[in-house]
Amino acid sequence: MIATLPLTLTAQLAPDLRDAATAWLSWLTKERRYSAHTTSAYLRDFSAFVAFFHEYLGEGPLTLAHLESLDLRSLRAWLAARAGRTLSATSTARAISVIRNFFQFLDKRGLAHNPAARHLRPPKISKPLPRAITAGQAGDAVEQIGEFAGESWVSARDTALLTLIYGCGLRIGEALSLDVKDIPSGNSMVVTGKGNKQRVVPVLAVVREAIAAYLAECPFSLSGADALFVGVRGERLNPGIFQKRVRELRIRMGLPEDTTPHAFRHSFATHLLAGGGDLRTIQELLGHADLSTTQRYTHVDTARLLESYRSAHPRAGKK
């Protein structure tokens, strides 16, 4: 489904820019295959950009000519306004990426050309290191997560889902998008990740067994294109429900506050690296497009090594 321009935005756009924005959203959805969530985020940033310049220029509805005439000083005024609202660097970096994407779209289609937009540079962002729990904690979590469910089949479902996420390094969205037909019968399975890119991941016997145990208890007759993980009404499981379950588990086990379903994916990668796995293989298993994303796990492993060294070496506390 293609996102539509909200009425407040439409009122601020002249017909030529309105048509260009609609074509851009269609391109994001149909050709770039961005998800509805991503497209909506792009539309929010674009709407905020338009709202600023609608007021900043004060010349009525914005036209393509208006956008083409924006100089670097005007664009910096937009960034200064964002800074005045104390928006995070991550938020501003995303907004800059969205606006540059829109101007590139206009340029490639001969609708408008603005060289100044190319000079927009996102702020530097200090990426937080991935969080990981210990292998022992991960094992205990898999065993205990089912204790929060009121029904045995829900318990089996939650156990299977966490076993899958940790055992195969999946994102929660990847796991919940699986259908019954995707269940692995062998030692590997195909997973569809970001950008509809597919990858093959190995599947441990314990993962297959956990899924089989869940399906054996599930009260719904699931097959083929039916969702693999379902809620109490038989519909595809809402990620918020499982995230809440993990929060309950975190409190009970005394795990760090940032222990989320995604933390088990991080733990999967960190434990593989600690066990001798090479970065290229881990990159493929996680579905990272850029090796630099995977390389962050080397910092995590090094940090843990230094922490152990400092706490264990007899001279570590000496000055």
Q: Could you report the per-residue pLDDT of 165-178, keeping only the tens digit for each?
A: 998 889 899 999 99
* Model pLDDT, residue 34: 87
Q: How far apart are CA 132 and CA 144, in angstroms?
A: 18
For residues 130 and 266, the answer to whether their CB atoms sit within 8 Å is yes
- pLDDT confidence of residue 319: 47
- C-beta pairs of 196-205 under 8 Å, 24+ apart in sequence: 196/33, 197/287, 197/289, 199/284, 199/285, 199/287, 201/168, 201/169, 201/170, 201/285, 202/168, 202/285, 203/167, 203/168, 204/167, 204/168
Residue 89, amino acid: A
Pairing of strands 188-192, 198-202: antiparallel
Q: Are 39 and 27 in contact (CB under 8 A)?
A: no
Measure the CA–CA gap between 239 and 169, rounded to whole angstroms.
16
Surface-to-core class of residue 127, CB atoms within 10 Å of its CB (0-12 exposed, 13-18 middle, 19+ buried): exposed
CB atoms within 10 A of CB 170: 27
Q: Give mean pLDDT, residues 158-165.
A: 95
Q: Is 262 a catalytic residue?
A: yes
Catalytic residue, from 54, 250, 262, 266: name it: 262
Q: Catalytic residue among 18, 54, 250, 288, which?
A: 288
Does residue 43 register a pLDDT over 50?
A: yes
pLDDT tens string 60-104: 999 999 999 999 999 999 999 988 887 888 888 899 999 999 999
Told to judge if 119 belongs to the known catalytic residues of this protein, a careful annotator would answer no
* CATH 1.10.150.130 domain span(s) along the chain: 7-119
Superfamily of domain 7-119: Tyrosine recombinase, N-terminal domain (1.10.150.130)
The catalytic position among 194, 252, 310, 313 is 194
- pLDDT at position 303 over 80: no
Which has more confidence, 223 or 275? 223
Tell me where in the chain the CATH 1.10.443.10 domain(s) lie.
Answer: 135-262
Q: Of 198-202, 233-237, 304-308, which gets the smallest average pLDDT?
A: 304-308
Report the top-level CATH class of 135-262. mainly alpha
Q: Is 299 a known active-site residue?
A: no
In the annotation, is 194 catalytic?
Answer: yes
From 54, 66, 171, 208, active-site residue: 171
Residue type, 204: L
pLDDT tens by residue, 12-31: 999 999 999 999 999 999 99
Q: In the structure encoding, which two tokens stand for residue 106, read together? A: 């206009």
Q: What percent of the chain has pLDDT over 70?
A: 86
Query: Could you tell me which residues come within 8 angstroms of residue 171 by beta carbon, excluding any fewer than 6 positions away?
Result: 165, 193, 194, 262, 265
| Mean pLDDT over each residue of the chain, to the nearest integer | 86
